[in-house]
Amino acid sequence: MPSHTDLANAIRFLSMDSVQAANSGHPGMPMGMADVATVLFTKFLKFDAHAPNWPDRDRFVLSAGHGSMLIYSLLHLTGYEAMTIEQLKAFRQIGALTAGHPEYGHVQGVETTTGPLGQGISTAVGMAMAEAHLRANWGADLCDHRTWVIASDGDLMEGISQEAISLAGHLNLNRLIVLWDDNEISIDGALSVAESGDQLLRFKAAGWEAVRVDGHDPEALEAAMAAAIVSVKPSLIACRTQIGFGAPNLAGTAKTHGSPLGMQEIAATRAALNWPHAPFVVPEEIGATWRAAGQKGAKAHAAWHKRLAQHPNRAAFEDLIETKIDPVPLRNLIKAHCAEIAQHAPSLATRESSGAALEVLVPELDCLMGGSADLTGSVNTKVAGMKAFGPNAYQERYVHYGVREHAMAAAMNGMALHGGVLPYSGTFLVFADYLRPALRLGALMGVRTIHVLTHDSIGLGEDGPTHQPVETLASLRAIPNVLVFRPCDPVEVAECWELAILAEQSPSVLSLTRQKLSFQRCEGSPINRSAQGAYVMSPAQHPEKAVLIATGSEVELAMKAQTQLAQRGIGVRVVSAPCLELFEAQTFEYQNEVLGGDLPKIAIEAAVRFGWDRWIGPQGMFIGMKGFGASGPYQELYAHFGITSEAICAAVLGLD
């Protein structure tokens, strides 16, 4: 029977040899954490390597994603089918499953994409939240797993980690266990060049259990993990390790962090650890023991399937866990909602319209889990009957994230990845900057999260330029695979909610106003016009001189200008463009038809022009912001910055 050390050394050599073959990568962490990972994967982690998507598996998050060879080695050794030895040999090559950092969707067994530090641990908080929520609603028969994280010093230095651990402590997510690679080394050298704090005390201050163990002592690790799984609090286990463990000359130094060890040191390590096997060769007995570990959850998996098969609400659970949403009833719901609201044609802020849409959606869609970053009353994300999710109330669906935008967005990624939850949450649009790294990661992974971002321009008024986005829309539109919706009235808001909910592989942003807007779509929503991204809201009624393209709050200005120009016999069409990404996806013919071919174009958006030349050309006119905003009543700000129907009319009249 192979020893613990044999099993751990298999990880070490696969990792160092793969990095060497790639001539690129990070051997130090997998070598240092091999003992910890071996104890976790052979003794604790509930998984079935033959069923990577079993919903009740434990989630394992390698927050320190640069140590990707650790997880690739583990996936290979435990028998994940796709992770062949050839894949390890092709580490970091184009097309290989073994990308430089572990990528969700690229390879099974990777629960979330990691690499940007702090994201993994924060995403894991969302996974643990989803688990607690489903367990509360469906019982431990169907949902009874843990979330394990391996985190590095860098993960814990990032500010997002504080947001995440204080949120996890507040929510008392006791099935979240963080294994900290406490190796006292950073890229710049000894960790002490930049860090003097007491991590254990910090975690305790956030309501966690926190202990330190020798990360190379399998018995101590086993005892610590055994204690953690019965802890009534979330747990930190500081695993004191030596980076690059086993390399006789380089272990314990930053040199093992981000470069191959080199052939000479690898040979020396083989000698030191008594591992005579060639690169990529794992002795059969060791391999068999590892593969058996990969199957130790198979029995639990089978039992779970049996319980599911006998569950009275089996189909509902299966739909929920896949977060499948039938578009037909959703369309009907939105259609009815829009028909209803069009009868009253209210002047609402789009944040209020969003709240009204949620009043209809939340009761119908059990998967929706709302929240906000301490702006509940401002972002209208909490609907009637929603109660706070938390200890003793994990069945509830509203999360008070606190002023923790970054961890909020990362946790939303985690919930979406976990399955069974479709998370939406809100803050002010300008604070999208605070959550941007998590949003980017969500876009890269293609997860469905919905960000309700209100107070979306100078229209928020007196709070001034710190709170007034001007570049934020452009900066979000620049991210691949993010849908940026900026609807203009209650009907477009509801349509955009429908589109966001159905966008299974994209995060969405809803950019919404603080200020009230006039109602536009009096016909309701017999078809979802926002689905094409932009459309002619109001054709020209006179000989057509120009095309006005507007989004959100500026659509009413364009409509007003159209009326004013009509009084002078001048025709303009008004194009509403609630989602430029969806418009971009249309055919050129459709785009050209909407944009009126060669007609002069004027775009109106209370934001910077950046990005708009795509639609209006460098010769097109733009009525918007040229720089940061100012503090004052919003109507005065619009006048001050020249974003008015009069300015639009003057622009049209000034055309040759």
Q: Does residue number 633 form part of the binding site for its own copies (CB under 8 A)?
A: yes
Q: Does residue number 647 form part of the binding site for its own copies (CB under 8 A)?
A: no
Q: For residues 571-590, which are near its own copies according to CB under 8 A?
A: none
Pick the binder of its own copies from 92, 448, 486, 521 (CB under 8 A).
92
Minimum Å gap between C-beta 253 and its own copies is 13
Please count the other Cβ atoms lying within 10 Å of the Cβ belonging to residue 588: 7
Give the angle 330-331-337 at the CA atoms, nearest 5°.
Answer: 90
Q: Does residue number 207 form part of the binding site for its own copies (CB under 8 A)?
A: yes
Pick the binder of its own copies from 319, 366, 463, 544 (CB under 8 A).
463
Closest CA to 553 of 577, 530, 584, 523: 577
Residue 390 CA to residue 295 CA, distance in Å, equals 34
Which residue matches tokens 């002047």? 347
Tell me the angle at which helices 490-502 and 327-344 cross, rounded to the nearest 10 degrees.
170
Pick the binder of its own copies from 186, 256, 323, 551 (CB under 8 A).
186
Residue 611 CA to residue 599 CA, distance in Å, equals 20
Write down the H helix ranges in 245-349: 263-272, 284-295, 298-309, 314-322, 327-344
Give the H/E segment covering residue 576. Answer: strand 571-576
Residue 331 CA to residue 634 CA, distance in Å, equals 35
**Quick one: 284 or 589, whose CB is closer to its own copies?**
589
Q: Does residue number 209 form part of the binding site for its own copies (CB under 8 A)?
A: no
Residue 394 CA to residue 387 CA, distance in Å, equals 10
**Quick one: 187 or 302, whose CB is closer to its own copies?**
187
- Dihedral over Cα of 106, 112, 114, 116: its sign: positive
Pick the binder of its own copies from 372, 380, 511, 515 (CB under 8 A).
372
Task: Kindly determine how many residues on this chain lie close enough to bind its own copies according to the rule CB under 8 A.
Answer: 109
Residue 18 CA to residue 184 CA, distance in Å, equals 25
Q: For residues 138-177, which are near its own copies according to CB under 8 A?
A: 153-154, 157-163, 166-167, 169-170
Structural tokens at position 369: 């889990």
Q: Are strands 368-372 and 422-428 parallel, antiparallel or unpaired?
A: parallel
Tell me the angle at which helices 350-364 and 490-502 cross, rounded to the nearest 10 degrees.
50
Q: Does residue number 194 form part of the binding site for its own copies (CB under 8 A)?
A: yes
Minimum Å gap between C-beta 612 and its own copies is 8
Pick the binder of its own copies from 248, 636, 646, 655 (CB under 8 A).
636
Minimum Å gap between C-beta 433 and its own copies is 4
Pick the binder of its own copies from 100, 283, 419, 642 (CB under 8 A).
100
Q: Does residue number 393 form part of the binding site for its own copies (CB under 8 A)?
A: no
Which residue matches tokens 């690169």? 279
- Which listed range, 116-124, 264-272, 285-293, 322-330, lies at the site for its own copies (CB under 8 A)? 116-124
**Quick one: 142 or 250, whose CB is closer to its own copies?**
250
Q: For residues 9-68, which are near its own copies according to CB under 8 A?
A: 22, 24-25, 65-66
Closest CA to 516 of 467, 558, 579, 459: 459
**Quick one: 524 or 596, whose CB is closer to its own copies?**
596
Residue 530 CA to residue 490 CA, distance in Å, equals 12
CA dihedral 164, 153, 260, 272 (to 10 degrees): -120
- Which listed range, 36-44, 286-294, 472-480, 547-555, lies at the site for its own copies (CB under 8 A)? 472-480
**Quick one: 156 or 266, whose CB is closer to its own copies?**
156
- Chain length of the chain: 656
Q: Find out whether 565 and 572 touch, Cβ atoms under 8 Å.
A: yes
Q: Does residue number 593 form part of the binding site for its own copies (CB under 8 A)?
A: no
Pick the binder of its own copies from 116, 215, 246, 442 (CB under 8 A).
116
Q: Does residue number 599 form part of the binding site for its own copies (CB under 8 A)?
A: no
Give the angle 428-434-436 at the CA atoms, nearest 5°.
Answer: 105
Q: Does residue number 374 form part of the binding site for its own copies (CB under 8 A)?
A: yes
Q: For residues 395-454, which are near its own copies according to CB under 8 A?
A: 400-407, 430-431, 433-434, 436-437, 440-441, 443-444
Q: For residues 494-533, which are near its own copies according to CB under 8 A?
A: none
Please give the order of strands across the beta sheet that includes 398-400: 398-400, 368-372, 422-428, 450-454, 508-511, 483-485
Q: Does residue number 294 form part of the binding site for its own copies (CB under 8 A)?
A: no
Q: Does residue number 120 form part of the binding site for its own copies (CB under 8 A)?
A: no
Closest CA to 476 of 524, 504, 505, 442: 442
**Quick one: 164 or 512, whose CB is closer to its own copies?**
164
**Quick one: 257 or 335, whose CB is closer to its own copies?**
257
Minimum Å gap between C-beta 599 and its own copies is 14
Q: Does residue number 377 form part of the binding site for its own copies (CB under 8 A)?
A: yes
**Quick one: 42 or 98, whose CB is closer to its own copies?**
98
Minimum Å gap between C-beta 417 and its own copies is 15
Residue 594 CA to residue 328 CA, distance in Å, equals 27
Residue window 307-346: x/- pattern of binding to its own copies, with contact defined by CB under 8 A: ----------------------------------------
DSSP letter (8 states) at residue 262 = -
Q: Does residue number 481 form part of the binding site for its own copies (CB under 8 A)?
A: yes
Q: Does residue number 114 form part of the binding site for its own copies (CB under 8 A)?
A: yes
Q: For residues 215-274, which are near its own copies according to CB under 8 A?
A: none
**Quick one: 322 or 433, whose CB is closer to its own copies?**
433
- Which listed range, 196-204, 241-249, 350-358, 555-563, lies at the site for its own copies (CB under 8 A)? 196-204
Minimum Å gap between C-beta 336 and its own copies is 31
Q: Find out whether 485 and 500 touch, Cβ atoms under 8 Å.
A: yes
Q: Find out whether 580 and 615 touch, Cβ atoms under 8 Å.
A: yes
> How many CA atoms lie less than 13 Å away from 428 in the CB half-sphere?
21
CB-count exposure of residue 471 (10 Å: 0-12, 13-18, 19+): middle
Minimum Å gap between C-beta 170 and its own copies is 4
Minimum Å gap between C-beta 542 and its own copies is 27
Residues designated as active site:
405
**Quick one: 71 or 273, whose CB is closer to its own copies?**
71
Structural tokens at position 599: 């007609």
User: For the chain, how long is the longest CA-to-CA vector?
Assistant: 92
**Quick one: 204 or 277, whose CB is closer to its own copies?**
204
Residue 236 CA to residue 231 CA, distance in Å, equals 11
- DSSP 3-state of 426: strand
Pick the binder of its own copies from 94, 278, 315, 328 (CB under 8 A).
94
Minimum Å gap between C-beta 359 and its own copies is 19
